[in-house]
């Protein structure tokens, strides 16, 4: 990409940021932007997506938005870009792990960027009133999103429908005509699949979270992600979080939609599936690498989280 192309992308990023009321992106000096597209459907929705190589370790903080009572949806590092440049790593550290995050713009988010890695994302901002009209009869189930007294933070695991739609947005060529309308439909399709997944969560009371609690719960999540072949003890997680077990479990379930052990097992099976798919390991090799001594137990856990036994999953890849 030429210097002129880079300057054009940087200009489009700043132009978009100004249009939707975001602060200027001073961190542009720390990244090499490979892809950036943005669409505004003001006053209710804005969407941008892109891919960039990280040249320096830094923390990006989200800013305010001009969209009234804006709720943010960030789909981060959940798809691969075919044009990975040399010198970048596709290995995801805990802080760079894929996630789908929902948050009010009144709560500033911090996102870690690691030098010599590639970051990819889709970001949607939507007004609370517009989202409520979109959810219609389902909106009471998500009332915590619209309660001014409630500070919420939610992360959701990936589904195949979400992943497919994200790739449609980023990788497929938009039609020559009615391009903005196409991307608005895609944004709403992505939100549909996300809320379809969220609707399956067990009903729970969402309590206001402090910045300290949010930071602690992510430190717990990062510890779980960093040790998938061996579970971390609750005692160690309590120490990391600086809270008692009951509070730790309640906040973790509120943010991530499942208990600590189920979350650990789900990520563990996702990694086992990756080993079968990308590393071409046998079922026994994948099971042993993920810390299972009993392959029958591995098969049962894999089927519970992935919908089929590992042998069938592996055979379907051939």
Query: Based on the domain organization, do 17 and 81 belong to the same domain?
Result: yes
Is the pLDDT higher at 262 or at 14?
262
Do residues 184 and 215 both lie within one domain?
A: no
Say whether both 64 and 194 belong to one domain.
yes
Same domain, 102 and 33: yes
**What rounded mean pLDDT belongs to the chain?**
83
19 and 158 belong to one structural domain: yes
Identify the CATH number of the domain in which residue 215 sits.
Answer: 1.10.10.60
Q: Are residues 40 and 173 in the same domain?
A: yes
Same domain assignment for residues 48 and 130: yes
Q: Which domain holds residue 184?
A: 3-198
Question: What percentage of the chain exceeds 70 in pLDDT?
Answer: 84
Domain total for the chain?
A: 2
Q: At what angle do helices 211-225 and 245-256 cross, to 10 degrees?
A: 80
Assess whether 17 and 161 both reside in one domain: yes
Domain of residue 177, CATH code: 2.60.120
User: Do 165 and 90 fall into the same domain?
Assistant: yes
Residue 90 makes CB contacts below 8 A (sequence gap 6+) with 80, 84, 117, 118
Whether 181 and 220 map to the same domain: the answer is: no
What are the tens digits of pLDDT across the range 232-241?
999 999 999 9
116 and 235 belong to one structural domain: no
Tokens of 216: 């602690």
Tens digit of each residue's pLDDT (9 = 90 or more) over 132-142: 998 999 988 88
Residues 183 and 246 in one domain: no
**206 belongs to a structural domain:** no
Average pLDDT over residues 293-302: 94
User: Would you say residue 181 has pLDDT above 50?
Assistant: yes
Which pLDDT does position 26 carry in this prediction?
67
Residue 205 lies in a domain: no
How confident is the model over 290-309, as a mean pLDDT?
A: 93
Are 2 and 15 spatial neighbours (Cβ–Cβ below 8 Å)?
no
């Amino acid at each position: 990409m030429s210097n002129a192309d880079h300057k054009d992308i940087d200009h489009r990023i700043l132009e978009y940021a100004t249009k939707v009321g975001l602060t200027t992106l001073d961190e542009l000096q720390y990244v090499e932007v490979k892809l950036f597209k943005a669409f505004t459907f003001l006053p209710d929705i804005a969407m941008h997506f892109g891919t960039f190589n990280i040249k320096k370790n830094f923390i990006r903080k989200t800013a305010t938005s001009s969209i009234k009572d804006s709720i943010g949806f960030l789909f981060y590092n959940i798809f691969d870009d075919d044009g990975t440049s040399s010198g970048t790593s596709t290995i995801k550290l805990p802080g760079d792990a894929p996630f789908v995050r929902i948050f009010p713009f009144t709560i500033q988010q911090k996102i870690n960027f690691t030098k010599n890695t590639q970051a990819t994302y889709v970001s949607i901002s939507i007004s609370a009133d517009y989202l409520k009209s979109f959810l219609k009869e389902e909106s009471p189930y998500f009332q915590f999103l619209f309660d001014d007294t409630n500070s919420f933070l939610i992360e959701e695991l990936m589904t195949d429908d979400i992943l497919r739609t994200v790739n449609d947005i980023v990788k497929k060529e938009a039609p020559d005509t009615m391009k903005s309308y196409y991307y608005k439909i895609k944004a709403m399709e992505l939100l549909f699949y996300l809320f379809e997944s969220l609707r399956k969560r067990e009903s729970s009371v969402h309590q206001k979270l402090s910045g300290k609690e949010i930071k602690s719960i992510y430190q717990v999540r990062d510890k779980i992600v960093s040790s998938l072949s061996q579970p971390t003890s609750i005692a160690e997680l309590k120490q990391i979080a600086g809270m008692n077990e009951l509070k730790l479990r309640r906040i973790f379930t509120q943010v991530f939609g499942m208990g600590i052990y189920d979350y650990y097992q789900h990520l563990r099976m996702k990694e086992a599936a990756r080993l079968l798919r990308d590393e071409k390991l046998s079922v026994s090799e994948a099971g042993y690498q993920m810390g299972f001594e009993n392959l029958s137990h591995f098969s049962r856990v894999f089927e519970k989280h992935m919908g089929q036994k590992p042998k069938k999953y592996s055979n379907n890849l051939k």
